Chains A and B, each alone.
Chain A
Amino acid sequence: MGNIVQINGPIVTVRLQGVHNGEQVRVGRLGLVGEVISLDGNQAQVQVYESTESLSPGESAQALGHPLSVELGPGLLGQIFDGVQRPLKAIRLQSGDQIARGLELPALDREQVWQFEPASALDIGTHVGGGTIIGTVQETETVVHRILVPPAQSGELLEHAPAGDYTVDQVIARIRNSIGHVHKLKLFHRWPVRRPRPYRARDHAAVPLMTGQRILDTFFPLLKGGTGAVPGPFGAGKTIVQQQIARWANADIVLYVGCGERGNELVEVLESFPKLTDPHSGRSLMERTLLVANTSNMPVVAREASIYVGVTIAEYYRDQGYDVVMVADSTSRWAEALREVAGRLGQMPVEEGYPAYLASRLSAFYERAGSVQTLAGNRGSVSLIGAVSPPGGDFSEPVTSHTKEMVRTFWALTKELADARHYPAVGWNDSFSGYVETAAKWWAEHVDPAWAQRRAEALALLAEADELARIVNLVGPEALSPAQRWVLEGAGLLKEAVLQQSALDKVDSYASPRKQFILLDLALKIYHEGKDILELEVPVDHIAQLPLLAKMRRIKSVYSSDQTEELRKLDQEIHETFDRIRIEYAGVKEQTA
């Protein structure tokens, strides 16, 4: 037992003997919990996860003997947790609409009964290593929860519970380790959040993560096990992009970490996901989703922890052999929490007040993504996608620039596109993906061999149009040749018919890889055909005003991903339209000749 010496916002200095760095400490009459972040003689500085108001010097402090850990077991999915994995729905039942301080609730419901099915291949007496699957529980209709031997444990299986109903607290196996200690295994185990969970080996990510968003999948793809960032000024649509990924990604498990963002955004996920169906499994989206919520008005220290709580849960499902996507909105708020704590500790600021270890913490976080061979020998992956909120939309600020160095896919949102309500406002100039070549193999095999070529054509067209637009702004459109003006029109068509995608439109919200490819292919076909007939001296305006183009712009929200046949029918209309014009103008030419 020790006592409190000083309280400075969320940082409490305690006099406490023998406490470890990183250990959990309970302080004061209210029993607020925090974590030791520095030691100095017999004093320790503790960052407290809840508001320290009304705490006074002299109150007690008690070391809890373990670092910040999460409970991992069935019952996580469909839940909403706070930044230190307290179940928010249960908290509401206990303390009402506002979160009271000092509440202690287990993350997993101790009452709920799960139907456990032991792994049949395991005989008594066999040696089980960490990560071995000792049985399964049907967690939701779509997700089978594989019960793992905790990674740090192994030994001879002494007892294996028969199939039946168990709560998470009941013992389902006993193992004796190499020095003769017997451990009880339950449906859940604990794991410290700041330590990455072990795996057997990393492998090369090779399968694209499909999000159903054209600008992401087709232009700047991400792989399962990859890292991505979505930076953008406020109002550019970061949250919608993140939510769209959480909705439509072809992952088994989705973690949505609301880190220092708006309460209403999480409510939107909570209210809308149960009603939405997963296009891949046909079941409610909430069955594969879980939320970690530390909204902007919740205590700042728990915000710092929330990212680690999220990624540890993600790794746990990876270890069961699943593809997991974690979206973190927003890593800038996490970095700010880091800055606030560093500032209170009087650490030397380097850039914009951020501590010197910002970059290393960020990179350590993104390194927890990856496609791996699990301890049990399965394949699993964690893809990490972090939103970044650069102050003033300035991408050169520390969090954005460090993130940019770390991630392989960068979806840069721009204010110009957002102001014109071009959504998703992912700019094609500043965005990049280091996974294009790998993704191209997948697209060639599963969708169309021409994918890489079409993608390159489209990007080249957009770049050329941007260049020409600069010229127009200097000297006016008269300076452009008809071919150049058609480039502008073609790029415009590409933007409206392919790049823009409405999250609110039921049909357009999700596009399958095939639909994505067909739309791109059709738009480029119109561009090429138009370019071709310009030689017959058809006026650009004439082509630009063809009803065919208007139809192309709207077709994305007319036919869904299941109606690719109908989409393909536009091919013929394109040919007919341009052939008609060819005949018409060829005639004119002959007459004048």
Chain B
Amino acid sequence: MKEKEYRMATAARGALLFMQGIPGVPLGDRVVVRDHRGRKRNGQVILTSDETVLVQVFEGTDDLDLERTWVRFLEEPFTLPLSPDMLGRVFNGVGQPKDGRPPIISALKRNVNGAPVNPSARSYPREFIQTGISTIDGLNSLVRGQKLPIFSGSGLPHNRLAAQIVRQAKLLGEAANFVVVFAAMGVSHTDARFFEEDFESSGVLGNVVMFINLADDPPMERLILPRTALTAAEYLAFDLDRHVLAVVTDMTHYAEALREVATAKGDVPARKGYPGYLYSDLAEIYERAGRIHDRHGSITMVPVLSMPSDDITHPIPDLTGYITEGQIVLSRELHNQGAYPPVTVPPSLSRLMKDGIGKDDTREDHPRVASQLYASYARALEARNLASIIGAEELSERDRLYLAFADAFEKRFVTQGEQEDRSIVETLDLAWELLSLLPPETLGRVTEADLKKYHNWEVVSAERANWYGRTSEDSADEEHPADPQAAGRVS
């Protein structure tokens, strides 16, 4: 059967080819479709029965002539040949070279769909990765083996942020030891070139495997590309003991391709035309990140997705957020104000942060500082909201402090240079500098000891008093200055 070509296509619709009367075709098998010009296309069996076999053709069925279409069933699922030589190479979605060099030859081939990892074999991710970006390290820390997506919008600098993470990511006290698996679906030539040049200039190119499907490449290939790329990642991580950083962009294009096929198949749509199994399908991809007991390597995944119309409740970001371990959300508002990286802090989250930070990992005060920054910034945004209604002049003294805090937080903590690599200590010190703009009694998330050690309210408020040219009598409304000493006294 492997050698035999069938010419029994009865219908072609979108990316689907319907074949009739071919017995015993296994589900999921790889198919080669040859058209009347002798060009070959890749396909996969997605439904099979005695009567009908449904083939999904990655290059689409455009220009196919049913009478002159030959289909060969390869009697094997989609596999990827694996070898250390993959590093530094560029492939398409099905693992064929895209850089003009010969294909990878290896006896080791794996099914790109993988198999689910046994939950009892997983090891909990807890090693802090320093990305050098304050909003990530300080507030939404990434740990080795985590899947932390970037939720972005069209035109926002998610690619620059992803590239910066790739450049700067390292474990504390260890030299950079990541290899990068870069999976790009439906990206523009410009974006693809940006990444390539960035990897090259930072000298990581020899440690990168790229799987690229450009915006003008066949869209159905996007369905298999992340699976191919993650098969390579699993090989690098769990066979070769490497720490893999998998950047997968843009998951929205993937989900759109899935919707296209689902609609052609006549699947019942759930929300916005996406099939009901979108969640399970995305999970098959995202859940391939992680750590495994007794294996030295790991897969840390940073998927990038653009939220259609910046809507975080759209099914793609929504379902992604339910699967991944947090999310970094970019905001158009901050971007328009010139902030880079425009990470909007309130909806961003890292679920695995709690076990990767603190005394033995970063610094003892880190968990509480992060929590305090979140709480204070949330309060500050309320004050800003209020100011937009009644005017800043009408605000109370306290609210004006919060307003100043919000501005400083966005201009100094969130904003940083594209080449600026802040250590976690620098990030935390900066956090305390900003928290010192607020009086100690508003900081309920940190301890007395933290306040004593890091908080500089007296200094800062004295400076502010001088700044405004106030005399000590003017500031007499602070008749009962907060006294951390007194508050710390235990009766």
Contacts and interface: CB of A to CB of B under 8 A. Distances in A.
Given A352-B270, A352-B271, A391-B271, A420 B375 contact: yes
Contacts of A13: 49
B49 A554 contact: no
A481 B104 CA distance: 76
B117 A392 contact: no
Contacts of B479: 542
A362 to B, nearest CB: 17
Nearest to B385: A473
A12 to B, nearest CB: 9
B325 A549 contact: no
A392 B312 CA distance: 7
Contact of A8 (B47, B277, B283, B477): B47
Given A98-B115, A263-B290, A477 B396 contact: yes
Nearest to B122: A267
Given A297-B283, A420-B375, A547-B482, A235 B352 contact: no
B270 A53 contact: no
Nearest to B445: A421
B49 A6 contact: yes
B120 A340 contact: no
B48 A57 contact: yes
Contact of B29 (A54, A258, A271, A477): A54
A353 B270 contact: yes
B291 to A, nearest CB: 9
Contact of A91 (B118, B267, B276): B118
A295 to B, nearest CB: 6
A262 B327 contact: no
Given A54-B77, A298-B116, A339 B270 contact: yes
Given A92-B121, A98-B115, A264-B352, A235 B26 contact: no
Interface in A404-428: 415, 419-422
Interface in B441-469: 441, 444-445, 447-448
A110 B49 CA distance: 40
A419 B444 CA distance: 17
A422 B371 CA distance: 9
A305 B148 CA distance: 30
Contacts of A511: none
B261 to A, nearest CB: 13
A542 B480 contact: yes
Nearest to B487: A547
Given A264-B122, A352-B271, A551-B487, A100 B115 contact: yes
A460 interface: no
> Which one of A5, A391, A541 has the highest number of Cβ atoms from chain B below 10 Å of its Cβ?
A391
Contacts of B111: 53
B276 A353 contact: yes
Nearest to B479: A542
B122 A420 contact: no
A465 to B, nearest CB: 13
B116 A56 contact: no
A550 B386 contact: no
Contacts of B48: 6-7, 56-57
A542 B441 CA distance: 12
Contacts of B24: 56-58
B315 interface: yes
Contacts of B375: 420-422
Contacts of B386: 472-473, 476-477
Contact of B26 (A55, A239, A298, A349): A55
Contacts of A234: 318, 321-322
A573 B487 CA distance: 12
Contacts of A51: 113, 115
B250 to A, nearest CB: 19
B268 A343 contact: yes
Contact of A264 (B26, B290, B490): B290
Contacts of B85: none
Contact of A295 (B29, B119, B271, B482): B119
B491 A570 contact: yes
B287 A57 contact: no
B488 to A, nearest CB: 8
B367 interface: yes
Interface string A211-254: 00000000000000000000001110001000000000000000
Contact of B119 (A5, A88, A352, A474): A88
Nearest to B293: A97
A264 B276 CA distance: 24
Contacts of B25: 56-57
A490 to B, nearest CB: 15
Nearest to A352: B270
Contact of A297 (B275, B287, B352, B477): B287
A296 B287 contact: yes
Given A300-B280, A394-B313, A99 B321 contact: no
Interface string A1-45: 000011111000100000000000000000000000000000000
Nearest to B234: A98
A592 interface: no
Interface in A77-101: 80, 88-89, 91-92, 95-101
B206 to A, nearest CB: 28
B292 interface: yes
Contact of B280 (A239, A296, A394): A296
A88 B270 contact: no
B353 to A, nearest CB: 10
A260 B487 contact: no
Contacts of A101: 115
A491 B77 CA distance: 61
B403 interface: no
A553 interface: yes
A300 B480 contact: no
B27 A98 contact: no
A504 B322 CA distance: 21
Contact of A389 (B122, B315, B322, B398): B322
A109 interface: no
B107 interface: no
A473 B383 CA distance: 10
A107 interface: no
B218 to A, nearest CB: 22
A565 B182 CA distance: 59
A146 interface: no
Contact of B284 (A96, A297, A337): A297
A263 B318 CA distance: 18
A546 interface: yes
Nearest to B26: A56
Interface in A99-121: 99-101
B313 A267 contact: no
B154 interface: no
Contacts of B68: none
B252 to A, nearest CB: 16
Given A54-B26, A504-B354, A235 B118 contact: no
Given A262-B287, A263-B290, A421-B378, A98 B117 contact: yes
A504 B323 CA distance: 22
Contacts of A392: 312-314, 318
The 8 closest A-B pairs by CB, nearest first: A392-B313, A296-B283, A6-B49, A476-B390, A420-B378, A297-B287, A234-B321, A53-B28
6 contacts: A56-B26, A92-B118, A352-B270, A394-B313, A473-B389, A549-B441
Given A235-B351, A264-B122, 20 more contacts: A13-B49, A51-B113, A52-B27, A56-B24, A88-B118, A98-B117, A101-B115, A260-B279, A264-B145, A266-B122, A296-B280, A296-B286, A298-B116, A336-B280, A352-B271, A421-B371, A421-B374, A496-B444, A545-B441, A550-B441
Interface of B: 23-29, 47-50, 77, 111, 113-125, 145, 238, 267-271, 275-277, 279-280, 283-284, 286-288, 290, 292-293, 295, 312-315, 318-319, 321-323, 325-327, 346-347, 349, 351-352, 354-355, 367, 371, 374-375, 378-379, 385-386, 389-390, 394, 396-399, 439-441, 444-445, 447-448, 477, 479-480, 482-483, 486-487, 490-491
